[in-house]
Amino acid sequence: MRTSVLHTLQDPTQFKQLLLQWAQQFREVVFLDSNNYHQNYTSYDAVLAVDALTSIQTDYHNAFDELNTYQQTTKDWLFGYLSYDLKNDTEAIQSSNFDGLGFPDLFFFQPKKIFLIKDDLVELRYLNMCDDELDSDWEEINKQQSSSNQQQSTDNRQLLAIDQRISKERYLEKAGKMLEHIYRGDIYEANFCMEFYAEDATIDPLEKFVKLNAISEPPFATYFKNNKQYLLSASPERYLKKEGSKVISQPIKGTARRSADIVEDEALKQELLVNEKERSENIMIVDLVRNDLSRTAEKNSVHVDELCEAYSFKQVHHLISTVVSTVGSEYSPVDVIRTTFPMGSMTGAPKISAMQIIEDLEETRRGLYSGAVGYFTPEGDFDFNVVIRSILYNAVNKYVSFSVGSAITAQAIPEKEYEECLLKARAMRSVLENT
Protein backbone atom coordinates (compact mmCIF):
# COMPACT_ATOMS: atom_id res chain seq x y z
CA MET A 1 0.00 0.00 0.00
CA ARG A 2 2.95 2.33 0.68
CA THR A 3 6.36 2.67 -0.92
CA SER A 4 9.22 3.36 1.49
CA VAL A 5 12.46 5.21 0.67
CA LEU A 6 15.26 6.00 3.15
CA HIS A 7 17.59 9.01 2.98
CA THR A 8 20.53 10.08 5.15
CA LEU A 9 20.39 13.66 6.43
CA GLN A 10 23.47 15.86 6.75
CA ASP A 11 21.64 18.37 8.94
CA PRO A 12 18.38 17.03 10.44
CA THR A 13 17.51 20.37 12.07
CA GLN A 14 17.77 22.27 8.81
CA PHE A 15 15.89 19.53 6.97
CA LYS A 16 12.94 19.85 9.37
CA GLN A 17 12.75 23.56 8.52
CA LEU A 18 12.82 22.87 4.78
CA LEU A 19 10.25 20.11 5.13
CA LEU A 20 7.81 22.30 7.03
CA GLN A 21 8.15 25.09 4.46
CA TRP A 22 7.53 22.64 1.62
CA ALA A 23 4.44 21.30 3.40
CA GLN A 24 2.63 24.67 3.27
CA GLN A 25 1.34 23.92 -0.24
CA PHE A 26 -0.99 21.20 1.08
CA ARG A 27 -4.49 21.54 2.50
CA GLU A 28 -3.84 19.08 5.36
CA VAL A 29 -0.60 19.14 7.37
CA VAL A 30 0.48 17.56 10.65
CA PHE A 31 4.06 18.18 11.79
CA LEU A 32 5.18 16.67 15.11
CA ASP A 33 8.57 17.64 16.56
CA SER A 34 10.27 16.25 19.69
CA ASN A 35 12.93 18.97 19.51
CA ASN A 36 15.52 16.30 20.39
CA TYR A 37 14.04 16.07 23.89
CA HIS A 38 14.62 12.37 24.40
CA GLN A 39 12.12 11.07 26.91
CA ASN A 40 11.34 7.41 27.33
CA TYR A 41 9.04 6.04 24.64
CA THR A 42 10.12 8.48 21.90
CA SER A 43 9.61 6.73 18.53
CA TYR A 44 10.65 9.52 16.14
CA ASP A 45 12.48 12.82 16.36
CA ALA A 46 9.91 14.38 14.00
CA VAL A 47 7.04 13.31 11.74
CA LEU A 48 5.33 15.06 8.84
CA ALA A 49 2.09 13.92 7.21
CA VAL A 50 0.46 15.82 4.33
CA ASP A 51 -2.25 15.64 1.68
CA ALA A 52 -5.37 13.63 2.56
CA LEU A 53 -6.50 10.69 0.48
CA THR A 54 -9.44 10.15 2.85
CA SER A 55 -10.57 11.95 5.98
CA ILE A 56 -13.18 11.99 8.73
CA GLN A 57 -14.63 15.15 10.26
CA THR A 58 -17.49 15.20 12.74
CA ASP A 59 -19.08 16.73 15.80
CA TYR A 60 -19.12 14.82 19.08
CA HIS A 61 -22.24 12.70 18.31
CA ASN A 62 -21.03 9.06 18.00
CA ALA A 63 -17.56 10.45 17.25
CA PHE A 64 -15.61 7.60 18.84
CA ASP A 65 -17.67 4.96 17.01
CA GLU A 66 -17.06 6.74 13.71
CA LEU A 67 -13.33 7.02 14.44
CA ASN A 68 -13.17 3.35 15.39
CA THR A 69 -14.81 2.34 12.10
CA TYR A 70 -12.47 4.62 10.13
CA GLN A 71 -9.36 3.29 11.88
CA GLN A 72 -10.41 -0.36 11.56
CA THR A 73 -11.36 0.08 7.90
CA THR A 74 -8.29 1.93 6.65
CA LYS A 75 -5.66 0.01 8.68
CA ASP A 76 -3.25 2.76 7.60
CA TRP A 77 -1.48 5.77 9.08
CA LEU A 78 -4.05 8.31 10.32
CA PHE A 79 -3.24 11.79 11.66
CA GLY A 80 -5.53 14.23 13.38
CA TYR A 81 -7.05 15.49 16.59
CA LEU A 82 -9.59 14.85 19.33
CA SER A 83 -11.19 17.97 20.80
CA TYR A 84 -11.95 18.28 24.50
CA ASP A 85 -15.69 18.38 23.78
CA LEU A 86 -15.70 14.74 22.71
CA LYS A 87 -16.43 14.28 26.42
CA ASN A 88 -20.02 14.94 25.38
CA ASP A 89 -19.96 11.68 23.40
CA THR A 90 -19.12 9.56 26.43
CA GLU A 91 -20.79 11.46 29.28
CA ALA A 92 -24.10 13.29 29.77
CA ILE A 93 -22.47 16.71 29.49
CA GLN A 94 -23.27 19.59 27.15
CA SER A 95 -21.06 22.48 26.00
CA SER A 96 -22.93 25.76 25.62
CA ASN A 97 -20.08 28.22 26.21
CA PHE A 98 -18.85 30.65 23.57
CA ASP A 99 -16.79 29.23 20.70
CA GLY A 100 -14.99 31.75 18.48
CA LEU A 101 -12.98 29.16 16.52
CA GLY A 102 -15.58 26.79 15.09
CA PHE A 103 -13.31 23.78 14.61
CA PRO A 104 -14.88 20.32 14.12
CA ASP A 105 -14.88 18.22 17.30
CA LEU A 106 -12.88 15.47 15.56
CA PHE A 107 -10.72 15.43 12.43
CA PHE A 108 -8.44 12.70 11.07
CA PHE A 109 -6.97 12.07 7.64
CA GLN A 110 -5.12 9.34 5.78
CA PRO A 111 -2.05 11.11 4.33
CA LYS A 112 -0.68 10.38 0.90
CA LYS A 113 2.83 11.36 2.01
CA ILE A 114 4.62 10.72 5.34
CA PHE A 115 8.14 11.62 6.51
CA LEU A 116 9.56 9.85 9.59
CA ILE A 117 12.77 11.37 11.00
CA LYS A 118 14.99 9.53 13.49
CA ASP A 119 18.59 10.61 14.19
CA ASP A 120 20.17 11.32 10.79
CA LEU A 121 17.71 9.24 8.76
CA VAL A 122 14.39 10.16 7.17
CA GLU A 123 12.01 7.54 5.82
CA LEU A 124 9.50 8.60 3.16
CA ARG A 125 6.34 6.49 3.07
CA TYR A 126 4.14 7.37 0.10
CA LEU A 127 0.91 5.70 -0.94
CA ASN A 128 1.58 3.67 -4.07
CA MET A 129 -0.75 5.91 -6.06
CA CYS A 130 1.74 8.80 -5.73
CA ASP A 131 5.10 7.03 -5.31
CA ASP A 132 6.18 8.40 -8.70
CA GLU A 133 6.53 11.77 -6.88
CA LEU A 134 9.14 10.53 -4.37
CA ASP A 135 12.15 11.76 -6.33
CA SER A 136 10.67 15.05 -7.51
CA ASP A 137 9.42 15.91 -3.99
CA TRP A 138 12.83 15.13 -2.51
CA GLU A 139 14.49 17.45 -5.01
CA GLU A 140 11.91 20.17 -4.42
CA ILE A 141 12.36 20.04 -0.64
CA ASN A 142 16.14 20.33 -0.84
CA LYS A 143 16.11 23.01 -3.54
CA GLN A 144 14.54 25.37 -1.02
CA GLN A 145 17.84 25.51 0.84
CA SER A 146 19.15 28.55 -1.00
CA SER A 147 16.02 30.59 -0.32
CA SER A 148 15.14 29.24 3.12
CA ASN A 149 16.85 31.99 5.07
CA GLN A 150 15.04 34.67 3.11
CA GLN A 151 11.68 32.93 3.67
CA GLN A 152 12.27 32.57 7.38
CA SER A 153 13.10 36.23 7.81
CA THR A 154 9.68 37.46 6.72
CA ASP A 155 7.85 38.76 9.76
CA ASN A 156 4.23 39.77 10.07
CA ARG A 157 4.20 42.87 12.26
CA GLN A 158 0.44 43.31 12.67
CA LEU A 159 -0.19 44.44 16.23
CA LEU A 160 -2.83 42.23 17.80
CA ALA A 161 -5.01 43.44 20.65
CA ILE A 162 -5.05 40.44 22.99
CA ASP A 163 -8.15 40.38 25.20
CA GLN A 164 -8.72 38.28 28.30
CA ARG A 165 -12.07 36.44 28.43
CA ILE A 166 -12.19 36.38 32.25
CA SER A 167 -10.94 39.40 34.20
CA LYS A 168 -8.71 38.97 37.23
CA GLU A 169 -11.58 39.86 39.56
CA ARG A 170 -13.91 37.29 37.97
CA TYR A 171 -11.13 34.70 37.91
CA LEU A 172 -10.59 35.05 41.65
CA GLU A 173 -14.35 34.83 42.22
CA LYS A 174 -14.68 31.70 40.05
CA ALA A 175 -11.64 30.05 41.64
CA GLY A 176 -13.31 30.71 44.99
CA LYS A 177 -16.45 28.92 43.79
CA MET A 178 -14.27 26.00 42.65
CA LEU A 179 -12.83 25.85 46.18
CA GLU A 180 -16.35 25.79 47.62
CA HIS A 181 -17.07 22.67 45.54
CA ILE A 182 -13.88 21.10 46.90
CA TYR A 183 -14.72 21.96 50.52
CA ARG A 184 -18.20 20.44 50.04
CA GLY A 185 -16.62 17.24 48.73
CA ASP A 186 -18.02 17.52 45.19
CA ILE A 187 -14.49 17.22 43.76
CA TYR A 188 -10.89 16.93 44.96
CA GLU A 189 -9.27 18.82 42.10
CA ALA A 190 -10.24 20.58 38.88
CA ASN A 191 -8.32 22.21 36.06
CA PHE A 192 -9.77 25.69 35.62
CA CYS A 193 -8.95 27.48 32.35
CA MET A 194 -9.45 30.86 30.75
CA GLU A 195 -9.10 32.16 27.20
CA PHE A 196 -7.05 34.96 25.67
CA TYR A 197 -8.12 36.00 22.17
CA ALA A 198 -7.88 38.49 19.32
CA GLU A 199 -10.56 39.30 16.76
CA ASP A 200 -10.07 40.54 13.19
CA ALA A 201 -6.60 38.99 13.35
CA THR A 202 -4.37 38.05 10.44
CA ILE A 203 -1.21 36.10 11.29
CA ASP A 204 1.37 33.98 9.49
CA PRO A 205 0.81 30.59 11.16
CA LEU A 206 4.15 29.09 10.15
CA GLU A 207 6.11 32.09 11.41
CA LYS A 208 4.23 32.05 14.72
CA PHE A 209 4.79 28.31 15.16
CA VAL A 210 8.53 28.64 14.53
CA LYS A 211 8.78 31.40 17.15
CA LEU A 212 6.62 29.58 19.71
CA ASN A 213 8.56 26.34 19.26
CA ALA A 214 11.89 28.16 19.64
CA ILE A 215 10.82 29.67 22.97
CA SER A 216 10.06 26.31 24.61
CA GLU A 217 11.52 23.52 22.40
CA PRO A 218 9.09 21.02 23.94
CA PRO A 219 8.93 17.28 23.22
CA PHE A 220 5.42 17.34 21.73
CA ALA A 221 5.41 20.40 19.48
CA THR A 222 2.77 20.38 16.74
CA TYR A 223 2.00 22.36 13.60
CA PHE A 224 -1.46 21.40 12.38
CA LYS A 225 -3.34 22.71 9.36
CA ASN A 226 -6.77 21.74 8.07
CA ASN A 227 -7.36 24.15 5.21
CA LYS A 228 -7.84 27.47 7.05
CA GLN A 229 -7.79 26.07 10.60
CA TYR A 230 -4.49 25.96 12.46
CA LEU A 231 -3.00 24.67 15.69
CA LEU A 232 0.45 25.93 16.73
CA SER A 233 1.43 23.95 19.80
CA ALA A 234 4.43 23.90 22.11
CA SER A 235 3.09 21.11 24.30
CA PRO A 236 5.38 19.42 26.83
CA GLU A 237 2.88 16.66 27.65
CA ARG A 238 2.05 13.22 26.30
CA TYR A 239 -1.55 12.14 26.72
CA LEU A 240 -1.41 8.50 25.66
CA LYS A 241 0.76 6.14 23.65
CA LYS A 242 0.22 2.53 22.61
CA GLU A 243 3.10 0.23 21.64
CA GLY A 244 1.80 -3.24 20.87
CA SER A 245 -0.20 -4.21 23.98
CA LYS A 246 1.53 -1.63 26.19
CA VAL A 247 -0.24 1.66 26.95
CA ILE A 248 1.63 4.64 28.42
CA SER A 249 0.16 7.79 29.99
CA GLN A 250 2.39 10.64 31.24
CA PRO A 251 0.33 13.29 33.05
CA ILE A 252 1.92 16.61 34.03
CA LYS A 253 0.86 18.33 37.24
CA GLY A 254 3.18 20.61 39.19
CA THR A 255 5.04 23.62 37.82
CA ALA A 256 7.95 25.80 38.92
CA ARG A 257 9.73 28.60 37.09
CA ARG A 258 13.27 28.30 35.73
CA SER A 259 16.15 30.58 36.73
CA ALA A 260 19.18 31.72 34.74
CA ASP A 261 21.23 31.17 37.90
CA ILE A 262 22.28 27.50 37.98
CA VAL A 263 22.20 27.21 41.77
CA GLU A 264 18.82 28.90 42.12
CA ASP A 265 17.42 26.85 39.23
CA GLU A 266 18.40 23.57 40.90
CA ALA A 267 16.94 24.82 44.19
CA LEU A 268 13.64 25.61 42.44
CA LYS A 269 13.61 22.10 40.97
CA GLN A 270 14.27 20.49 44.35
CA GLU A 271 11.59 22.63 45.98
CA LEU A 272 9.12 21.43 43.35
CA LEU A 273 9.97 17.80 44.08
CA VAL A 274 9.00 18.16 47.75
CA ASN A 275 6.20 20.72 47.40
CA GLU A 276 3.19 19.12 49.08
CA LYS A 277 0.57 20.96 47.03
CA GLU A 278 2.24 20.27 43.66
CA ARG A 279 2.79 16.60 44.51
CA SER A 280 -0.78 16.16 45.70
CA GLU A 281 -2.06 17.61 42.39
CA ASN A 282 0.01 15.06 40.50
CA ILE A 283 -0.82 12.07 42.68
CA MET A 284 -4.57 12.70 42.47
CA ILE A 285 -4.37 12.66 38.67
CA VAL A 286 -2.19 9.54 38.72
CA ASP A 287 -4.93 7.77 40.68
CA LEU A 288 -7.46 8.93 38.09
CA VAL A 289 -5.27 7.72 35.20
CA ARG A 290 -4.77 4.34 36.86
CA ASN A 291 -8.53 3.99 37.14
CA ASP A 292 -9.07 5.03 33.49
CA LEU A 293 -6.43 2.63 32.16
CA SER A 294 -7.86 -0.25 34.21
CA ARG A 295 -11.02 -0.15 32.10
CA THR A 296 -9.20 -1.73 29.14
CA ALA A 297 -6.24 -3.32 30.93
CA GLU A 298 -5.46 -6.94 31.67
CA LYS A 299 -5.93 -7.74 35.34
CA ASN A 300 -3.18 -6.38 37.64
CA SER A 301 -1.26 -4.87 34.71
CA VAL A 302 -1.65 -1.17 35.65
CA HIS A 303 1.37 0.22 37.45
CA VAL A 304 3.22 3.48 38.02
CA ASP A 305 6.69 3.57 36.43
CA GLU A 306 7.51 7.09 37.64
CA LEU A 307 5.81 9.14 40.32
CA CYS A 308 6.32 12.91 40.44
CA GLU A 309 9.65 12.97 38.61
CA ALA A 310 10.97 16.49 37.91
CA TYR A 311 11.62 17.29 34.24
CA SER A 312 13.21 20.54 33.08
CA PHE A 313 12.09 22.49 30.02
CA LYS A 314 13.36 25.82 28.71
CA GLN A 315 10.82 27.91 30.63
CA VAL A 316 9.62 25.75 33.52
CA HIS A 317 10.20 22.63 35.60
CA HIS A 318 7.33 20.12 35.66
CA LEU A 319 6.41 17.08 37.74
CA ILE A 320 5.63 14.18 35.40
CA SER A 321 4.38 10.71 36.29
CA THR A 322 4.33 7.66 34.00
CA VAL A 323 1.52 5.13 34.27
CA VAL A 324 1.52 1.99 32.10
CA SER A 325 -0.83 -0.91 31.44
CA THR A 326 -1.25 -3.96 29.22
CA VAL A 327 -4.38 -3.64 27.10
CA GLY A 328 -6.74 -6.59 26.82
CA SER A 329 -6.87 -8.26 23.39
CA GLU A 330 -10.64 -7.67 23.15
CA TYR A 331 -10.22 -3.88 23.03
CA SER A 332 -9.60 -1.78 19.93
CA PRO A 333 -7.11 1.13 19.87
CA VAL A 334 -10.01 3.61 19.92
CA ASP A 335 -11.50 1.83 22.96
CA VAL A 336 -8.36 2.71 24.92
CA ILE A 337 -8.73 6.37 23.97
CA ARG A 338 -12.49 6.50 24.53
CA THR A 339 -12.17 5.20 28.11
CA THR A 340 -9.41 7.63 29.11
CA PHE A 341 -10.51 10.82 27.29
CA PRO A 342 -10.35 13.67 28.14
CA MET A 343 -7.06 13.28 29.96
CA GLY A 344 -7.15 13.62 33.73
CA SER A 345 -4.52 16.36 33.85
CA MET A 346 -6.95 18.71 32.06
CA THR A 347 -10.12 17.72 33.92
CA GLY A 348 -9.83 16.80 37.58
CA ALA A 349 -11.03 14.23 40.07
CA PRO A 350 -13.57 12.74 40.15
CA LYS A 351 -13.51 13.31 36.42
CA ILE A 352 -17.22 13.61 35.55
CA SER A 353 -18.04 15.95 38.45
CA ALA A 354 -14.97 18.07 37.63
CA MET A 355 -15.99 18.35 33.96
CA GLN A 356 -19.52 19.44 34.91
CA ILE A 357 -18.23 22.13 37.27
CA ILE A 358 -15.64 23.26 34.69
CA GLU A 359 -18.44 23.68 32.14
CA ASP A 360 -20.39 25.87 34.57
CA LEU A 361 -17.51 28.14 35.63
CA GLU A 362 -15.49 28.53 32.42
CA GLU A 363 -16.74 30.99 29.80
CA THR A 364 -15.27 29.52 26.62
CA ARG A 365 -15.82 26.19 24.90
CA ARG A 366 -12.40 24.54 25.05
CA GLY A 367 -12.60 22.85 21.66
CA LEU A 368 -9.19 21.61 20.56
CA TYR A 369 -7.50 23.19 23.58
CA SER A 370 -6.94 20.43 26.17
CA GLY A 371 -7.74 17.89 23.50
CA ALA A 372 -5.09 15.80 21.75
CA VAL A 373 -3.20 15.63 18.43
CA GLY A 374 -1.39 12.58 17.16
CA TYR A 375 -1.51 9.53 14.92
CA PHE A 376 -2.42 5.88 14.49
CA THR A 377 -0.06 3.44 12.75
CA PRO A 378 -1.26 0.65 10.42
CA GLU A 379 -0.59 -1.82 13.26
CA GLY A 380 -3.02 0.00 15.57
CA ASP A 381 -0.39 1.71 17.72
CA PHE A 382 -0.83 5.40 18.47
CA ASP A 383 0.76 8.45 20.14
CA PHE A 384 -1.08 11.62 21.22
CA ASN A 385 -0.05 14.80 22.99
CA VAL A 386 -2.06 17.12 25.24
CA VAL A 387 -2.99 20.38 23.50
CA ILE A 388 -1.64 22.99 25.91
CA ARG A 389 0.75 25.94 25.44
CA SER A 390 -0.94 26.35 22.07
CA ILE A 391 -2.27 29.00 19.69
CA LEU A 392 -5.44 28.24 17.69
CA TYR A 393 -6.28 30.24 14.57
CA ASN A 394 -9.21 30.30 12.17
CA ALA A 395 -8.08 32.27 9.12
CA VAL A 396 -11.62 32.50 7.71
CA ASN A 397 -13.17 34.38 10.63
CA LYS A 398 -9.80 35.88 11.66
CA TYR A 399 -10.02 34.64 15.23
CA VAL A 400 -6.92 33.81 17.30
CA SER A 401 -7.17 32.09 20.67
CA PHE A 402 -5.03 30.56 23.37
CA SER A 403 -6.09 29.28 26.76
CA VAL A 404 -4.25 28.53 29.98
CA GLY A 405 -5.24 26.88 33.22
CA SER A 406 -4.10 25.55 36.55
CA ALA A 407 -5.18 22.85 38.98
CA ILE A 408 -7.39 24.00 41.83
CA THR A 409 -7.07 21.86 44.96
CA ALA A 410 -8.01 22.42 48.61
CA GLN A 411 -4.60 24.04 49.15
CA ALA A 412 -4.95 26.43 46.22
CA ILE A 413 -4.61 30.17 46.72
CA PRO A 414 -6.62 31.86 43.90
CA GLU A 415 -4.15 34.75 43.57
CA LYS A 416 -1.24 32.34 43.02
CA GLU A 417 -3.26 30.23 40.58
CA TYR A 418 -3.96 33.38 38.58
CA GLU A 419 -0.22 34.20 38.53
CA GLU A 420 0.51 30.65 37.29
CA CYS A 421 -1.94 31.18 34.43
CA LEU A 422 -0.22 34.42 33.43
CA LEU A 423 3.17 32.64 33.52
CA LYS A 424 1.86 29.94 31.19
CA ALA A 425 0.35 32.58 28.88
CA ARG A 426 3.58 34.50 28.48
CA ALA A 427 5.04 32.59 25.53
CA MET A 428 1.88 32.62 23.40
CA ARG A 429 1.23 36.27 24.17
CA SER A 430 4.77 37.34 23.29
CA VAL A 431 4.64 35.47 19.98
CA LEU A 432 1.32 37.00 18.97
CA GLU A 433 2.28 40.49 20.08
CA ASN A 434 5.70 40.26 18.39
CA THR A 435 7.47 41.24 21.62
- Please give the DSSP secondary-structure letter assigned to residue 364: B
Please give the Cα distance from 251 to 388 (Å, whole number): 12
Please give the Cα distance from 405 to 417 (Å, whole number): 8
- Cα distances from 394 to residues 71, 105, 224, 331, in angstroms, run 27, 14, 12, 36
Q: What angle do CA 224, 227, 231 make, to 5 degrees?
A: 25
Kind of pairing, strands 348-349 and 316-326?
unpaired
Decide if 324 contacts 305 (C-beta within 8 A).
yes
Cβ count within 10 A of residue 386:
27
Mind telling me the catalytic residues? Answer: 237, 253
Please give the Cα distance from 380 to 72 (Å, whole number): 8
Burial of 191 (0-12, 13-18, 19+ CB in 10 A): buried
